[in-house]
Structure 1
Amino acid sequence: MEAIAILDKVSYIYPNTKERVLKDISLTIRKGEFLGIVGATGAGKTTLCLALTGIVPQFYGGRFFGNIAIAGLDSLEHPVSELARHVGIVFEDPEVQITATSVENEIAFALENLCVPRAEILKRIPDVLASVRLAGFEKKNPQELSGGQKQRLAIAAALALKPALLILDEPTSQLDPIGAQEVFATVKALKDELGMAIVMVSHAAEEMAEFCDRLALLSEGQLIAVGTPTEIYAQVDLLEQNQLRPPEVAQAFSQIQQKGIAIPNIPVTLSSGIMAIAGLRSHLQPIVPPIFTPPFLKSKSPILSVQNLYHTYADGTEAIKNVSLDIQQGEYVLIVGQNGAGKSTLVKHFLNLLQPTSGKVLVGDRPTQALSVSDLAQSIGYLAQNPDNQIFNTSVEKEVAFALPFLGYTSERIQQETERSLKAMQLWEHRHAHPLSLPKGERGRIVIAALLAMNPEIIIFDEPTTGQDYQGAASILEVSRQLHQMGKTVIVITHHLYLMPEYADRAIVMGKGTLLLDAPLRQAYHQTDLLKSTYLTPPQSVFLSQHLRKNSDQEYNSITATEFANYFSLSS
């Protein structure tokens, strides 16, 4: 098959550094293939993407070794503007790419620069907007869009160029699961219909397994494995050694194989996993009824109460419609829903950043409007999706201590609470460092330490796993578990349902501003049709266990790979 890009022994060192970020990478990208690039944070994935556009080294400088040919053009000898006719790129953060004042102008901008005829521009705009669920948004200002919508717009603008090679660096990190599926399906259709080569960096293992033709596994700048998704994702041990999460189907069947049960090929997609179940039914064991655990005891008055809440924005958008719920002291609650479901609007009412159009929000027995800023700060701690937006001091210690004088703490208590919080978040040895000098995951811990110092009863994590690799997401959620064990009430908002079974007790599902479901986590995860209606996908183990339930009187209801694997035994 004809090559669209050829990398020959490529190495690269950024300016003012000594370490090679890319190390002797040789790789051929074929015309019309969908190549996934996987690796932990810091593996060199983004640098490799930039090298494929000529931005590295033309824009960054540094030391570049080897050769890259893109559509036959040497990436060093031809300017980025010329290479851009053959290769397009979508970055993880859409803000760095969006410049126009309307959605349609954003898509038209690059097409006009390439002198695409006006009639063709007008034809392409609705086509690409429909492909990313933004039809009808043509006249909207991009700054009025949600983060996920902005990401879809950046993808649409790149797709409109119809380049021979399209590079997407974590394009789905801010999208709900169904949105992510649609992006994968859209770019695959472009590959199939136009022969466009796709290179995508993503931590979305389930989608990468389903849609990619090949995967390239990077580790510390080295290309350590290239193969089909089946070849790469079936090596569960290799992935875990490189801090990567395999698709949940692969995890489950790998664990079954470890029991001594023969599995010729580890399935890596849901469809192949369901097919593989047929050969395992002889190893199924009867389900042991779960040990009864008493339901969560509700206190007389909830710690947080929402009563018949409505909120309509100034432009007439009804963001919250008659939502009522109570959250008890010590609960760990998951709030989920598609982009635009009303999750963030609801949380802003908890923080008194928005006032109800009608209805009430109570912290304890007091309406949020009656609480001062310091009262709220001592009741509710909030960790934003991007911790950098909450950091502004010159040392970790100063950041953690900053708000305490405003709460009336004495100097001695400020010192005590700051030290306690820093040690609890394993930041004591970094207390004199500049916050922004630490990795992103550590910066999140700084904000949590600052919240802890104020000793709030409730801590809210708003999309804490977005943009994180598996290890980063797990480390943040381990902090949330630690806080829960300390007696805090924890509320987590996330799209990543597969991460939450080990943490949350209860799921609140929102859709289009309404409360669709409020149930124990296991029960909520098996409401697959309802979740789909709000563009959410439960873990693959849910679908595997539901397939097992067919033609069976056993109540298979797993929500993790380990639970599903435990249905099988060599001695059955």
Structure 2
Amino acid sequence: MEPIAVLDQFSYIYPNSKNLVLKDISLTVNRGEFLGIIGATGAGKTTLCLAMTGIVPQFYGGRFFGKIAIAGLDTLDHSVSAIARHVGIVFEDPEVQITATSVENEIAFALENLCVPREEIMRRIPRVLKSVRLEGFEKKNPQELSGGQKQRLAIAAALALQPDLLILDEPTSQLDPIGSQEVFATVQALKEELGMAIVMVSHAAEEMAEFCDRLALLADGQLVALGTPQEIYAQTNFLKQHKLRPPEVAQVFSNISQTSGDCDQPLPIPVTLDAGIAALNLLYQQRSPNLSFPIPSTAPTTKKTLPLLSVQHLQHIYEDGTEAIRDLSLDIHAGEYVVIVGQNGAGKSTLVKHFLNLLKPTSGKVLVRDRDTRELSISELAQSIGYLAQNPDNQIFNTSVAKEVAFALPFLGYNAVQIKEATDRSLQAMQLQSHRDAHPLSLPKGERARIVIAALLAMNPDIVIFDEPTTGQDYQGASSILEVSRQLHQMGKTVIVITHHLYLMPDYADRAIVMGKGAILLDAPLRQAYHQVNLLQSTYLTPPQSVFLAQNLSKISDRPCPLITPQELANCFSISVAKQHLH
């Protein structure tokens, strides 16, 4: 095997820091290999990617130890532009990479810099656009694309270079699940067709298990595990110790092992869906006499009260003629926890902007407590609806956490005593008391989201909206924000979460609204919605792996299995539940 990247006892310290961000990393990436890099936020994954392009240390400075060679070129002895002929990189945020005024020019730009002949450039553009689902967008200005489309364009531009090594740092974090799956499949095809080496950083455990040849697990700047996806992802407890989420299939079988008392003879843990289905079939044959089917209730609760939020025949047409919302009607009642899902561009954010009166309906109306949002002042609306944006930093502008939380209260007519009480109560609820005097931007990203939530909570709104709160978060960050949403729900708030991470929601939401092309495709209890696999896939969503396993179990047992979590599946194989069932 021909090595394309060789890291030999590589360590690095950023300027003005005393701490090693990467420590003694030795690693070889071979031509034609797909290496996944996993690790919690702060493990050093992005720094490792930058080091393999020469950007670290050439642009950053700092102290560099050991050696890195890319296609035989030492990254300290050769310029970044010389190394760029062999390595392409795609960052998590496509905005930092996109500069051209049209999609095709964006792809042509780097190729022209490398003096690729015009005919070859024209041949590559349609191919890479097709591979990232952007055919027909050649003339469009990149600034008119959605976040997910911009990310796909950045990937297309890097793919067009056909480098020896393609590095992707969280390239799918902004994408809908099928967009994410397609990026993995595209990258896999390039690896096979062109023998390109791929290094990808991602939290998408299911895709990493399916597509990677090897995984490197980083923790606190050290390489703590290196092996096949099967070797790494089957160690579910080891992953959790490192704040990582195993693929759901692995979690299901790990839970079955624990609940069915198989400690003497541990079950093999599959890590891909196909392997999981095969293992489930085998397990069913062995244990079918002892199986129990505790079927959870799917009955929707009837709502007799007036809706808290009502959307009536809403239509929104943007100035360029795009119909983003089509005749949409929807009621949300007090105390519900609703998840709104749909592909990038389905109209989710446009809908929420109408809730907040940031957009006016072309026709139809939005009512909050039976009042038209167009008639409500900003302060009246703020007391009804709190909104957490995808990037909480865009909502923070004060010099201390306490000032941030108290900021809006004088505008709502609170006096000094009420401001202090509401601020203290919110800081307490969000466990931010000890940070009250800290500068908000000095806290980690997950904590900054809590500051914005505390500020919303101080205004005591009835409804709290979380807009893609888990995008770009590692598993621990996503879970901690969703735990806050659960806390708010338990305090009696109505919670609306917009997301395309369906696997995160079964423990929280009770109702799912599925959007596609500006319309509601399905509005149902979460459990029911997750089993509408074809409908979800028609809007580029994919349900959790537990749903596919449950549907397989339903088929082989000829019994209904509307299960949606790893634990629910494991309970079918639980010895204790089975015994109770037999008695």
Amino acid at match of 1:125: I
Aligned match of 1:125: 125
Match of 1:560 among 550, 559, 565: 565
Amino acid at match of 2:277: I
Deviations 1:284-316 (Å, cap 9, x if unpaired)? Answer: 445455576974341431000011111111111
Q: How does 1:466-505 map to 2 (within 5 A)?
A: 466-505=471-510
Q: How does 1:299-338 map to 2 (within 5 A)?
A: 299-338=304-343
Aligned match of 1:283: 287
Aligned match of 1:180: 180
Match of 2:64, SS state, is strand
Deviations 1:18-63 (Å, cap 9, x if unpaired)? Answer: 1111000000000010000000001110000000000111111001
1:569 CA drift (Å): 3.4
Q: Which moved more, 1:248-257 or 1:518-527?
A: 248-257
1:558 CA drift (Å): 1.3
1:361 CA drift (Å): 0.7
Amino acid at match of 1:181: Q
Q: State the identity %.
A: 78
Instruction: Mark the runs of 5 or more structure 1 residues left unpaired by the alignment.
Output: none
Q: Does structure 2 retain, via aligned residues, the 8 Å contact 1:286–1:554?
A: no
Aligned match of 2:270: 267
Root-mean-square deviation (CA, aligned residues, Å) is 1.3
- From the superposition, tell whether residues 81 and 294 of structure 1 become closer, same or farther in structure 2 (CA, over 3 Å): closer
Amino acid at match of 1:203: H
Q: Which moved more, 1:415-424 or 1:502-511?
A: 415-424
Deviations 1:341-387 (Å, cap 9, x if unpaired)? Answer: 01011101100111111111100100110100001100000000000
1:567 CA drift (Å): 1.0
**Partners of 1:264 and 1:445 in 2: CA distance:** 40
Q: Would you say 1:73 and 2:78 are equivalent positions? A: no
Q: Which moved more, 1:310-319 or 1:516-525?
A: 310-319
**Partners of 2:415 and 2:33 in 1: CA distance:** 63
Match of 1:457 among 451, 454, 462: 462
Deviations 1:501-558 (Å, cap 9, x if unpaired)? Answer: 0000000000011100000000000000000000001110100010111143321121
Q: Would you say 1:369 and 2:370 are equivalent positions? A: no
Match of 1:166, SS state, is strand
Aligned match of 2:51: 51
TM-score in terms of structure 2 length: 0.96
Aligned match of 1:234: 234
Q: Does structure 1 retain, via aligned residues, the 8 Å contact 2:547–2:564?
A: yes
Q: Does structure 1 retain, via aligned residues, the 8 Å contact 2:253–2:267?
A: no
**Partners of 1:464 and 1:291 in 2: CA distance:** 28
Aligned match of 1:391: 396
Amino acid at match of 2:4: I
Aligned match of 1:195: 195
Amino acid at match of 1:503: Y
Aligned match of 1:344: 349
Q: Would you say 1:31 and 2:31 are equivalent positions? A: yes
Q: Does structure 2 retain, via aligned residues, the 8 Å contact 1:4–1:31?
A: yes
Q: Does structure 1 retain, via aligned residues, the 8 Å contact 2:295–2:563?
A: no
TM-score in terms of structure 1 length: 0.98
Amino acid at match of 2:261: G
Match of 2:557, SS state, is coil
Q: How does 1:65-144 map to 2 (within 5 A)?
A: 65-144=65-144
Match of 1:199, SS state, is strand
**Partners of 2:384 and 2:273 in 1: CA distance:** 43
Aligned match of 1:569: 574
Aligned length, in residue pairs:
572
Amino acid at match of 2:570: A
1:405 CA drift (Å): 0.9
**Partners of 1:134 and 1:288 in 2: CA distance:** 45
Q: Does structure 2 retain, via aligned residues, the 8 Å contact 1:287–1:555?
A: no
- From the superposition, tell whether residues 294 and 191 of structure 1 become closer, same or farther in structure 2 (CA, over 3 Å): closer
Q: Does structure 2 retain, via aligned residues, the 8 Å contact 1:283–1:569?
A: no
**Partners of 1:288 and 1:128 in 2: CA distance:** 47
Aligned match of 2:362: 357
1:255 CA drift (Å): 1.5
Q: Does structure 1 retain, via aligned residues, the 8 Å contact 2:90–2:155?
A: yes
**Partners of 1:304 and 1:33 in 2: CA distance:** 51
**Partners of 2:20 and 2:467 in 1: CA distance:** 35
Match of 1:566, SS state, is helix
- From the superposition, tell whether residues 292 and 389 of structure 1 become closer, same or farther in structure 2 (CA, over 3 Å): closer
Q: Would you say 1:206 and 2:206 are equivalent positions? A: yes
- From the superposition, tell whether residues 147 and 294 of structure 1 become closer, same or farther in structure 2 (CA, over 3 Å): closer
1:139 CA drift (Å): 1.1
Q: Does structure 1 retain, via aligned residues, the 8 Å contact 2:315–2:363?
A: yes
1:570 CA drift (Å): 4.7
**Partners of 2:112 and 2:4 in 1: CA distance:** 25
